[in-house]
């Protein structure tokens, strides 16, 4: 509108939408521009509003919308690390990978895979918000077509289970499927924060048998977060790496809005430290999953997810910047 343009011309500091009052405008991730032109982007933020793979409490299909709203609280610079993602990379919100056929799980996964294949072909790095953890499998299918990648997984559960109620694919089997399909290298995969009771004595036998490094919550605290994350970085090395962060890795005192909460988890500050410790990795994509807003009407869980998303965005922008110089 002409009136709006006239007003903004008097206040040049408001030209950037990220400087507008946070309660205004149509929410996008981090108040970044919405675009469907992938050739304009180095990092493509998107939602995956799908929870057809959950085994108990649903609601994560609503996660991306609430994280978008809470992400208006994010700013342009990272005070703790000095990162300036918008100065180092072209960043935008490209909308949602929403399956047209959500009731057919394997077809829905194919739709999600196709969405992320377009991102990969455009040369952008995806930063996704779910949605249940089954969505990581189709994303990896798109990103790892040329060979297996490394994995850093911060989670309460390994998600390397098997058949469940007649289905091989659900949010508890994403990474056993990824190993079996040659999408991730199990010897370069680290699963951190694992805890909680199990139905069988060794629910995560697949992880151990295939050489995945499983760091339980007890071991994490016994060895210290800094030591554990350094080990994770040493295992991954400079291999192209996918980072997946399940919000149930946090104690439900901090993040109750999730489908499979487990007490005795990490704090929100520890989550920040853990993500920041991945600063030197060669990250090719990342996701934050299992935010279920119906279980946290306060919006606090979505705010944590948005903040962790910003931390991942900072890492990925630095990665883009390093690769430009190489």
Per-residue pLDDT, 25: 81
Per-residue pLDDT, 175: 94
Alpha helices per DSSP H over 40-104? 63-70, 85-88
Per-residue pLDDT, 21: 79
Quick check: 229 and 277 in contact, CB under 8 A? yes
Per-residue pLDDT, 1: 52
Give the whole-angstrom CA distance, residue 65 versus residue 134.
18
Per-residue pLDDT, 11: 76
Per-residue pLDDT, 244: 98
Query: How many beta carbons lie within 10 A of that of residue 256, not counting itself?
Result: 18
Per-residue pLDDT, 247: 97
Tokens of 115: 């969405």
This prediction has a pTM of: 0.94
Give the whole-angstrom CA distance, residue 84 versus residue 81.
9
Per-residue pLDDT, 22: 81
Alpha helices per DSSP H over the chain? 2-10, 63-70, 85-88, 105-121, 136-143, 174-180, 205-209, 217-223, 225-236, 268-276, 300-325
Neighbour-count burial for 153-182, b at 16+ CB within 10 Å, e otherwise: bbbbbbbbbeeeeeeebbbbbbbbbbbeee
Give the whole-angstrom CA distance, residue 149 versus residue 188.
8
Question: What residues of the chain score a pLDDT lower than 50?
Answer: none
Tokens of 15: 């030209």
Q: Enumerate residues 6+ apart whose C-beta is below 8 A from 236.
A: 150, 152, 188, 190, 281
Nearest partner of 136 among 97, 107, 175, judged by Cα = 175
């Amino acid at each position: 509108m002409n009136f709006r343009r006239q007003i903004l011309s008097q206040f040049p500091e408001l030209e950037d939408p990220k400087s507008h009052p946070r309660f205004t405008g149509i929410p996008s991730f981090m108040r970044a521009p919405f675009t469907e032109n992938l050739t304009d982007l180095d990092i493509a933020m998107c939602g995956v509003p799908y929870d057809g793979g959950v085994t108990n409490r649903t609601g994560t299909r609503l996660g991306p919308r609430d994280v978008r709203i809470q992400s208006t609280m994010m700013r342009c610079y990272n005070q703790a690390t000095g990162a300036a993602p918008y100065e180092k990379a072209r960043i935008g919100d490209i909308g949602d990978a929403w399956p047209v056929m959500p009731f057919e799980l394997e077809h829905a996964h194919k739709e999600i895979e196709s969405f992320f294949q377009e991102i990969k072909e455009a040369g952008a790095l995806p930063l996704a918000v779910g949605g249940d953890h089954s969505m990581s499998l189709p994303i990896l299918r798109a990103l790892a077509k040329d060979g297996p990648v490394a994995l850093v997984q911060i989670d309460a559960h390994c998600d390397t289970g098997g058949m469940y109620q007649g289905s091989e694919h659900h949010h508890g089997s994403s990474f056993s499927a990824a190993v079996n399909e040659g999408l991730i290298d199990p010897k370069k995969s680290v699963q951190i924060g694992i805890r909680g009771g199990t139905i069988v004595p060794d629910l995560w036998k697949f992880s151990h048998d295939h050489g995945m490094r499983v760091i339980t919550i007890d071991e994490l605290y016994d060895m210290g977060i800094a030591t554990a994350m350094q080990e994770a970085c040493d295992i991954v090395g400079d291999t192209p790496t996918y980072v997946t962060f399940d919000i149930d890795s946090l104690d439900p005192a901090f993040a109750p809005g999730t489908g499979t909460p487990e007490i005795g988890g990490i704090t929100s500050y520890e989550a920040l430290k853990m993500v920041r410790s991945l600063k030197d990795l060669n990250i090719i994509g990342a996701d934050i999953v299992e935010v279920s807003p119906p279980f946290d009407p306060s919006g606090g869980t979505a705010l944590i997810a948005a903040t962790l998303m910003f931390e991942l965005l900072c890492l990925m922008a630095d990665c883009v910047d390093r690769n430009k110089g190489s």
